[in-house]
Chains A and B, each alone.
Chain A
Amino acid sequence: MKVSSSNFKSNARQALDDKQLQSALNHVRNNFISKRSKARLDLPEFDALRDNARAIKDHTLEHLDFYLEHYERKVVESGGKVHWAADAVEARGIIMDICRKTNAKTVTKGKSMISEEISLNEFLAANSIIPVETDLGEYIIQLRGENPSHIIAPAVHLNIDQVRDEFRKAHTHLSPNRPMNEPETLLGEAREILRGKFLTAELGITGANFLVAETGSSLIVTNEGNGDLTQILPRVHVVLASIDKIVPTLEDLAQITRVLARSATGQEITVYSTLSTGPRRKEDEDGPEEYHVVLLDNGRSSMLGTEFSEMLRCIRCGACMNHCPVYQAVGGHAYGWVYPGPMGAVLTPSLIGVDKAGHLPNASTFCGRCEAVCPMRIPLPKMMRSWREREFEQHLVPPAHRKNLALWAWLAKHRRLYRLTTGLAARILAIRGGLSKRINKLPMAEGWTKHRILPAPEGATFMKLYRRRLRKGR
């Protein structure tokens, strides 16, 4: 996927002007937040479960090599194979290899952010293999040639009219006069088409919400059941996951899933939670003949032991972006790569470099709502600040901003000059504000005054007035 994170500002401006997008984003603003809040209130032990989930992941990350090796052993014992991929190129190569050996022409896919991370669809298509997204949201954006704008609701930036138009364009074999008003009819239409694909695909690729070291299983949670068909029907099943998905035991997995769906959609549990372990056994009635796991690192192991390692606890629930005022304003595409919102603001610079994604950790008010709702208690604002520190150290901050900051900091350390400056500023601004106390324009603060008035100061600084008061003995 092409990176356009450095265009964040212009992406955001476009998004803010996009009326259709703004109306679609109301879904995020209204539904996700209230649903999560209700789910949380309905479960008194929710916060205790969060602590527990956090502890499980912290422990796992501390012993990541151990659990990954254990997981591999278990996969092999159950008849599967684990492929280690250091980066996107390796991961794609491995998948291509499996496709070739399978002689795959059509590949069905369950929802996977890792697939986005390694641009798998473009790659498969370029190699004459047809990738078919089977998650409804993913299917829709695949038709539109778009990328997901949300990690759990990939098509949340669209409204039903756009989906209808897209289906009309794509499903030309159906009557143009068919009823298409209800979301359910559109769902039915997609389902009908996908059913045929499920049956023809030679290979199915799913992501994984978790990998279980104890059993060598992978878990996917979905609401449509498409993941099940993707992994059961084709002859070969490939699980594509990153190394941070590992948890030690099934019990741990059960603990963490209790906070996952509640944080994501406000559901107690998703409609389907499907574990898959190895290929079909003799006694099984269905299942794939081959079972592969492609384990991607892509920069994650180098986050371990740094100030960003806590990010690896993330379970991709999306709560942080749902509650983020910036995400709510501009949607996911503005962030310019796979992962949007606060989690993206931390993860993206880690994975593609802060030089390319420098805007993301800066485009935050540090309101802290993301951290407050994160089920894994990831200190997202703190890590965004760490990125800002790195940018500052590496001189990636615009020189003008750096100069202003240095000047201000110098003043803050020199009290007398500070007093002189603030005293002058208060007076000048007060005069500029006039009787109505409105400052309509101010050099260097156009960003402010373009959209707001600057309320003028009262006139003298507190320090000055206080001194005067002391002199008068009150």
Chain B
Amino acid sequence: MSKIDKKGPSSKVALFVTCLVDLFRPTVGFASIKLLEDAGCQVHVPVRQTCCGQPAWNSGSRKDTRDIAKQVITIFEKYEYVVAPSGSCAGMLKVHYQELFRDIPEWDSRAERFASKVFELTSFLTEVLGVTNVKAKLNSRVTYHDSCAGLRELNISDQPRKLLKSVDGLSLHEMNDSEACCGFGGTFAVKYSEISNFIVTEKTENIERTEPDLLLAGDLGCLLNIAGKLKYQGSKIEVRHVAEVLANMCEGKPIAGRD
């Protein structure tokens, strides 16, 4: 296990797996590794990683968030790049960590330096590595949901779409209001479940109207929420993380659809 860590600072890209991918959808992690390796990166998965700390941050616990952020920075800062298959977690590492240590100069500057290394997966592939094509094939009518944090904190919108267009057989059809929130919001979905339900229902209605075979997004939180609702409604629409399609790894069961 410690083997990977020992490769040490020469390593290029460290994968921030994200806690939801780790727990719910390992395929997304492997798809990310494949995409990065296909693009010529040496990928490392630091074994000491756990979570980005967002639940604490959004619950108002600065102390816990700081502790976890320090842990993440310490583990990952030696790598040249840090890539996460999630706009939300990448946004946490890249944007929010910088807000955490304003009163601790040492950590403030470490967080700032660290931020410059962090990227969301599709933005890293297209903007840093200049990838324009992926070797993937999927005969499918697809629609894409823009996850809020990726879209508004990291400007992720064209990047996944550009890559999807290079997938053989795939056609992309935009849903109405693809930039509207899906109602997940972390603990919001449980604490304000009725409102969350209202919002996700609007989302699934917009998805259904587009009549896709497959719904994609770049964030597992949104995906579990939307997939959960679609499943509940008995929809046949399949749901996957965008990385699975780009990496040509769609053999396994989707998150929703095909029960």
Known: A390-B60, A415-B50, A451-B232. A367 touches B224 (CB 8 A): no
A127 contacts the other chain (Cβ, under 8 Å)?
no
Q: Give the residue of B60, B189, B194 whose beta carbon is less than 8 angstroms from that of A12.
A: B194
> B residues 19-60 with Cβ under 8 Å of A?
19, 21-27, 29-30, 45, 47-51, 53, 55-60
A272 within 8 Å of B by Cβ?
no
Q: Is the interface of A mostly helix, strand, loop or mixed?
A: helix
Q: Are B189 and A448 in contact (CB under 8 A)?
A: yes
At the interface, yes or no: B136 with Cβ under 8 Å from chain A? no
Judge whether A391 is part of the interface by a CB distance below 8 angstroms.
Answer: yes
Question: Is A79 in contact with chain B by the CB < 8 A criterion?
Answer: no
Q: Which residues of the other chain, B, contact A457 by a CB distance below 8 angstroms?
A: 23-25
Contact assessment for A455 and B60 in the assembled complex, using a CB-CB cutoff below 8 Å: no
Interface window among A55-63, A159-167, A232-240, A404-412: A404-412
- Determine the chain B residues whose CB is within 8 A of the CB of A390 once the complex forms: 60
- B161 within 8 Å of A (CB atoms): no
* Partner pick for B188 among A364, A392, A409, A418, CB 8 A cutoff: A364
Interface string of A124-161 (1 = CB under 8 A from B): 00000000000000000000000000000000000000
Binds B, one of A92-100, A313-321, A323-331: A323-331
On chain B, the number of residues with a Cβ less than 8 Å from chain A's Cβ atoms is 73
Residue A447 interfacial (CB < 8 Å): yes
Contact B26 A412 (CB under 8 A): no
- Nearest-CB residue, chain A, relative to B226: A452
Complex interface residues of chain A between 434 and 460 (CB less than 8 A to chain B): 436-438, 445-448, 450-455, 457-458, 460
Residue A461 interfacial (CB < 8 Å): yes
**A389-427 interface (Cβ within 8 A of B):** 389-393, 397, 401, 405-406, 408-409, 411-413, 415, 418, 422, 425-426
Which residue of A329, A385, A445, A466 is within 8 Å of B195 (Cβ)? Answer: A329
**Are A401 and B59 CB-contacts (below 8 A) given A363-B192, A369-B181, A458-B24?**
yes
Cβ A465 vs Cβ B152 within 8 A: no
Contact indicator A448/B228 (Cβ below 8 Å): yes
Residue on B nearest A33 in the bound complex, by CB: B177
- B183 within 8 Å of A by Cβ? yes
Chain B CB within 10 Å, residue with most, of A326, A461, A462, A465? A462
Q: How far is the CB of B251 from chain A (nearest CB, A)?
A: 12
> Which of B45, B49, B64, B195 has a CB less than 8 Å from the CB of A330?
B195
Partner of A455, one of B180, B189, B255: B255
Whether A16 sits at the interface, judged by CB under 8 Å, is yes
Q: Does A102 contact B (CB under 8 A)?
A: no
B residues near A, CB below 8 A? 1, 3-4, 17, 19, 21-27, 29-30, 45, 47-51, 53, 55-62, 64, 67-68, 71, 99, 148-149, 152-153, 179-181, 183-200, 202, 224-225, 227-229, 231-232, 239, 252-253, 255-256, 259
A-B contact pairs, 7 of them (CB 8 A): A325-B183, A365-B148, A389-B62, A401-B59, A412-B50, A466-B29, A470-B4
Known A409-B64, A409-B68, A462-B29; further 11 A-B contacts with Cβ < 8 A: A326-B199, A365-B199, A366-B186, A367-B185, A397-B60, A401-B187, A405-B55, A409-B67, A412-B68, A452-B200, A458-B27
